[in-house]
Structure 1
């Protein structure tokens, strides 16, 4: 049995939904379908989720929301008209959409979560109706009925373990089950949405809970590539990679999955196949448990970079002999409710790397002042011009000299390395460089491992 998730671009128009229908028809093992909200139809278009956020904001502010409701309804009407569905389906969608404005919520966060979730919910209702109209027996499944239970924040939910026991009671057989992605219900019956990659998370939860043989994630790309195709021309396709590799690469900018989205599938040992709705015959990329990755053709599977980082650099003589220095630093971070990403150190130096998107200028200024007063470093510097590059591959641990080749590929082209770290798993090499050098660094590393003849001829 397969769980199949379709992204927003795959469900944006009637023509795209027709491709989805053909994909579901093509494989009888595709028993469980997860929907996203309709995405962009063309450049400059607005996603339905963004329209729902606009709708929610207008309700909160007491301004005219009717044009927004009409715009949302029109998106579903367009798909309904394409398949010539009975009017009753769209009437139900319009009723649920309109009812949101008069529903009471405990606060604005709960209101926003419920509004956002309706993009997926209404699309699942619509897709189930289309499947039935096309002669494919299908049933819309509300996450509440299925027992997808969550906790946490209304707009950043965490799945509860009881969910998996609840899902184990479902037995998809002759009828396709159509689930809306992106949200679940608290034990009190409130809608909470997952964070980024929300529909991917739902697909992963269902894959684990239903003990699926495969989780197929249909997007708008043929596969996952060894590097960003906006940085490297025509990068190599990754045919197979491990969960560990995927997570390491996602952390540094791979955009196919948000780095935590497939953790439930990882926990359930369910392989994930990334495929293209617009080219479903392409094999895509298979993401598998690490024990199923044997003899990689290259020690490197992929290279990713991100400029979202900043660093705090401290220098103090005899730092390595001072007991409690790092503890004092961590206590400062706790006071500011700040988490750090990495902390490479030397005998007199310490660099703390942060996700810059989680910090504002006022917090950074106050943090640096507090560190100066509490720890009295000989030198302190906040560095915004910082990028992290992840070089990832299960084969790194089994190929001596890989790290040397990575370093040589940069130093030979005058790219300064500010930090280097290899994790205990030995499947990734982390490099810190200036932001301006990040793209060139990715290209040079890629050439070394994937285009060695070009490097030799330069």
Structure 2
């Protein structure tokens, strides 16, 4: 079996965390391919190494002395290596890097967080270090050359049998360092899993997988044991994310399951994400609840609109003209709504409305602001009749006014719009009625 184990910044933030990683790796001989992020925060007010390196770049750009800042970063790495008894010359390597700081590209500078972390981890685990710049190949447009990358990773496995790889970066064919977006270590791990046709991609972080609701809103929410890629995408889009979203696609295409695990509590079951989540008929109705505040809905009414061609597309083209992304489009026979982020239209909404009036000539146009969207996600909802009605009824019984309703085409999510002021209470009502009560009645833990 092949397991790719990716450890995030919180998992490598200190020597103590390195020790936990070593126990996890040594507990399973299938964990031979390790991907690491740069050292993260040790405590809430601490700084991530990547953020400090971004600050170094800013200092260099504006010709501000960054000697003290570089010394702080170096000391973080030296302290970890010294406590672990690592002999790799951290200070010497860092001083060489720092002395040439103005000659390096910004992407090279930022990538050194992962580079130093992975070097220390490699010696500590007794597994060969492999530089991501040698195996993760980028096209010049910033996309990954999967064919070359796959060939290089497979050649590396033949040579070394196992490796520790820094995440977050790679290089073009001419050697220029290229970065993924922030959180790109997750993407690196997924690419390695795809290239090696792994049996599972383990993503180790500081939480025990997905929770069925935000713990800041719902007390002690149920953990999600199993979730599909589609469900995870729905929840992640609404902000319930523990995984960089772009990391999904390489493994999803190869049907490789992802396991979200907690470095600090390795025996917790975590969450398994896969294409399908087969289970018994008594599985939970709702997988998770997530939402976001501060949306705006523009409602357009025009008589006999259903007999006209292109009304909705013309309205959407107006939003596109102003560079506004559309969140949802609830429709009726002679009306439709366009839901957007309030922040996206704060300077243009009146211009957009005036353009709609001039070009579409609606009978009526209105706006609803301070709107919150709540997504109720569950792969089993479509199998049980009356689910949406029960959700609306529960909110109505609680005196919560529903401003908008829409459902995904896959029928795995129901989205309701409520006032910002009702956001927390609406999530609590749905959770208590459909998750907590179900757990009490069945006596079952999360699946």
Same fold (TM over 0.5): yes
The answer for the alignment partner of 2:59 in structure 1 is 58
Q: How far is the alpha carbon of 1:382 from its aligned partner?
A: 4.5
Query: Cα 1:159–1:440, aligned 2, differ >3 Å: closer, same or farther?
Result: farther
The answer for the alignment partner of 1:447 in structure 2 is 432
Q: How does 1:218-237 map to 2 (within 5 A)?
A: 218-237=204-223
The answer for the alignment partner of 1:386 in structure 2 is 371
Query: Cα 1:293–1:49, aligned 2, differ >3 Å: closer, same or farther?
Result: farther
Structure 2: runs of 5+ lacking an equivalent: 442-447
Q: How far is the alpha carbon of 1:228 from its aligned partner?
A: 1.1
The answer for the alignment partner of 1:114 in structure 2 is 108
Q: How far is the alpha carbon of 1:377 from its aligned partner?
A: 3.3
Query: Cα 1:192–1:377, aligned 2, differ >3 Å: closer, same or farther?
Result: farther
Q: Which moved more, 1:274-283 or 1:251-260?
A: 251-260
Q: How far is the alpha carbon of 1:231 from its aligned partner?
A: 0.9
8 Å Cα contact 1:80/1:90 also seen in 2: no
The answer for the alignment partner of 2:41 in structure 1 is 40
What is the rounded CA distance, in whole Å, between the counterparts of 2:95 and 2:362 in structure 1?
62
Q: How far is the alpha carbon of 1:453 from its aligned partner?
A: 7.4
Q: How far is the alpha carbon of 1:380 from its aligned partner?
A: 3.5
The answer for the alignment partner of 1:245 in structure 2 is 231
Aligned to 1:225, what secondary structure does the other structure show?
coil
Q: How far is the alpha carbon of 1:98 from its aligned partner?
A: 4.2
Query: Cα 1:63–1:23, aligned 2, differ >3 Å: closer, same or farther?
Result: same
Aligned to 1:418, what secondary structure does the other structure show?
strand
Q: How far is the alpha carbon of 1:120 from its aligned partner?
A: 1.6
Query: Cα 1:293–1:91, aligned 2, differ >3 Å: closer, same or farther?
Result: farther
8 Å Cα contact 1:170/1:210 also seen in 2: no
The answer for the alignment partner of 2:445 in structure 1 is none
When normalised by structure 1's length, the TM-score is 0.88
Aligned to 1:451, what secondary structure does the other structure show?
helix
Query: Cα 1:88–1:259, aligned 2, differ >3 Å: closer, same or farther?
Result: closer
Q: How far is the alpha carbon of 1:430 from its aligned partner?
A: 1.6
Pair 1:141 & 2:130 matched? yes
8 Å Cα contact 1:35/1:181 also seen in 2: yes
8 Å Cα contact 1:227/1:304 also seen in 2: yes
What is the rounded CA distance, in whole Å, between the counterparts of 1:57 and 1:349 in structure 2?
50
Pair 1:209 & 2:195 matched? yes
Query: Cα 1:332–1:131, aligned 2, differ >3 Å: closer, same or farther?
Result: same
Q: How far is the alpha carbon of 1:23 from its aligned partner?
A: 0.9
Q: How far is the alpha carbon of 1:327 from its aligned partner?
A: 2.5
8 Å Cα contact 2:209/2:242 also seen in 1: no
Aligned to 1:307, what secondary structure does the other structure show?
strand
Cα-to-partner distance string for 1:213-263 (whole Å, 9 max, x where unaligned): 111111111232111111111111111111111111111111212333322
Q: How far is the alpha carbon of 1:309 from its aligned partner?
A: 3.5
What is the rounded CA distance, in whole Å, between the counterparts of 1:257 and 1:117 in structure 2?
20
Q: How many residues align?
A: 439
The one of 302, 316, 328 aligned to 2:288: 302
Structure 1: runs of 5+ lacking an equivalent: 106-110, 133-137
What is the rounded CA distance, in whole Å, between the counterparts of 1:65 and 1:379 in structure 2?
59
Q: How far is the alpha carbon of 1:454 from its aligned partner?
A: 10
Question: What's the Cα RMSD here?
Answer: 2.5
Q: Which moved more, 1:309-318 or 1:202-211?
A: 309-318
8 Å Cα contact 2:407/2:414 also seen in 1: yes
What is the rounded CA distance, in whole Å, between the counterparts of 2:282 and 2:168 in structure 1?
34
8 Å Cα contact 1:303/1:391 also seen in 2: yes
8 Å Cα contact 1:216/1:275 also seen in 2: yes
What is the rounded CA distance, in whole Å, between the counterparts of 2:382 and 2:159 in structure 1?
43
Cα-to-partner distance string for 1:314-360 (whole Å, 9 max, x where unaligned): 23333333322222223323333333122111123221122455x26
What is the rounded CA distance, in whole Å, between the counterparts of 1:145 and 1:336 in structure 2?
42
What is the rounded CA distance, in whole Å, between the counterparts of 2:194 and 2:386 in structure 1?
38
8 Å Cα contact 2:56/2:69 also seen in 1: yes
Pair 1:13 & 2:2 matched? no
What is the rounded CA distance, in whole Å, between the counterparts of 1:121 and 1:38 in structure 2?
10
Query: Cα 1:70–1:55, aligned 2, differ >3 Å: closer, same or farther?
Result: same
Aligned to 1:430, what secondary structure does the other structure show?
strand
Aligned to 1:224, what secondary structure does the other structure show?
coil
Aligned to 1:202, what secondary structure does the other structure show?
helix
Cα-to-partner distance string for 1:16-60 (whole Å, 9 max, x where unaligned): 111111111111100111111111111211111111111111111
What is the rounded CA distance, in whole Å, between the counterparts of 2:132 and 2:175 in structure 1?
11
Cα-to-partner distance string for 1:348-388 (whole Å, 9 max, x where unaligned): 3221122455x263344443443333333344344441222
When normalised by structure 2's length, the TM-score is 0.90
Q: How far is the alpha carbon of 1:174 from its aligned partner?
A: 6.8
The answer for the alignment partner of 2:85 in structure 1 is 84
Q: How far is the alpha carbon of 1:189 from its aligned partner?
A: 3.3
Q: How does 1:181-200 map to 2 (within 5 A)?
A: 181-200=167-186
Aligned to 1:140, what secondary structure does the other structure show?
coil
Q: How far is the alpha carbon of 1:294 from its aligned partner?
A: 5.0
The answer for the alignment partner of 2:334 in structure 1 is 348
Pair 1:124 & 2:118 matched? yes
Cα-to-partner distance string for 1:108-162 (whole Å, 9 max, x where unaligned): xxx2x33332222221122112223xxxxx122222311432554xxxx543432
